[in-house]
Amino acid sequence: MIDLICRKKNKNGSCLLAFIIKILLIVIVAELVIYLYGLLVGMDANIEDLVKSILRLLLVAAGIFFIFGRKNGSQEAVESVGDELDPENIEEDVKEDELKQWPNIDPLTRTSNERGLTISILELMALADRYGHKLSIGLIKIDGIDSLEETDAGDVMINTAGLMTESLRMPDRIGRFRDNMFMALLPESDIAGATIVADRLRENLEKGMTNTTHRVSVWIGMTEFHRGEDLQSFLDRVELAVAQSEKEKNSICIKP
């Protein structure tokens, strides 16, 4: 039973207590056996001496546990604090906190995720509908990362996000729309402006990726918002554009 308690607790202090209890039980049983033997053979066995002996044992055991138990407890506390201050544990906690606080951010590229992009598109569509502002969006598909190792694929996505961010104007936004697909939001841009942005994106991505050992293809689809249309039709058109770009092996496809 005591061994079971010790294993379940898995704490130095608890195991020490179990060990002391074992020793006490053995010694007390031995004292009782000696006392009973004395009674049987007619020796002068004093019950008071037996009680005093057992009390002395209990006091010694309590002292041992107090000294070594506190030491082990302090050591466990130090180890616990050490684990909490471990850089890897701190980094994991920070990442978890960031994801909870920023549910619209992609944890790999640190750009907007699909949820964040959708919210931004709806806001921009509302402005375009109400005030007649121009709005275009683009999908950029990175083809070929499926054959890469997970770490290499992640590096490609991070590098791509950085290159695209550098290629856009200040009001423009970039985000990771799906696993291997980014989306560019281009407020105040008609289809002509979106075409210029697409050319710049293609050029910068091709230049940036020629210096890497991982060969991937880039397909870009662009479309302009039609006043009064809903989100689904807007997204369907830009997805059709990038699909056509990949099918025809053209790096850019424009769907007005």
pLDDT at 58 over 60: yes
pLDDT at 231 over 90: yes
Q: Are 125 and 231 in contact (CB under 8 A)?
A: yes
> What does DSSP assign to residue 144?
T
Q: pLDDT by residue (tens digit) across 162-174? A: 999 999 988 999 9
So what's the pLDDT on residue 45?
Answer: 56
Q: ∠191-193-199 over CA atoms, to 5°?
A: 100
Which is more confidently placed, 4 or 63? 63
H-type alpha helices, 85-175: 87-101, 114-131, 150-167
Nearest Cα neighbor of 158 from 135, 139, 142 is 142
| pTM to 2 decimal places | 0.62
So what's the pLDDT on residue 146?
Answer: 73
What is the DSSP pairing of strand 135-143 with strand 181-187? antiparallel
Q: pLDDT by residue (tens digit) across 115-154? A: 999 999 999 999 999 999 999 999 999 988 777 777 888 8
**Strand-pair partners of 136:** 186, 224
pLDDT-based confidence at residue 10 (cuts at 50, 70, 90): very low
Instruction: Please give the domain boundaries of the chain with CATH numbers for all domains.
Output: 2-85 (no CATH), 106-255 (3.30.70.270)
pLDDT at 243 over 90: yes
So what's the pLDDT on residue 7?
Answer: 44
So what's the pLDDT on residue 236?
Answer: 97
So what's the pLDDT on residue 9?
Answer: 44
What are the tokens at 111? 């750009």
pLDDT (mean) for 56-73: 61
**Strand-pair partners of 142:** 218
Give φ, ψ of 21 to 5 degrees. Answer: -60, -40
So what's the pLDDT on residue 4?
Answer: 41
Q: What percent of the chain has pLDDT over 90?
A: 44
Q: pLDDT by residue (tens digit) across 72-124? A: 554 554 455 455 555 565 556 655 666 566 789 999 999 999 999 999 999 99
Q: pLDDT by residue (tens digit) across 194-228? A: 999 999 999 998 888 766 666 778 999 999 999 99
How far is Cα 164 from Cα 173, in angstroms, rounded to an integer?
A: 9
So what's the pLDDT on residue 212?
Answer: 63
How far is Cα 82 from Cα 79, in angstroms, rounded to an integer?
A: 5
How far is Cα 84 from Cα 88, in angstroms, rounded to an integer?
A: 9
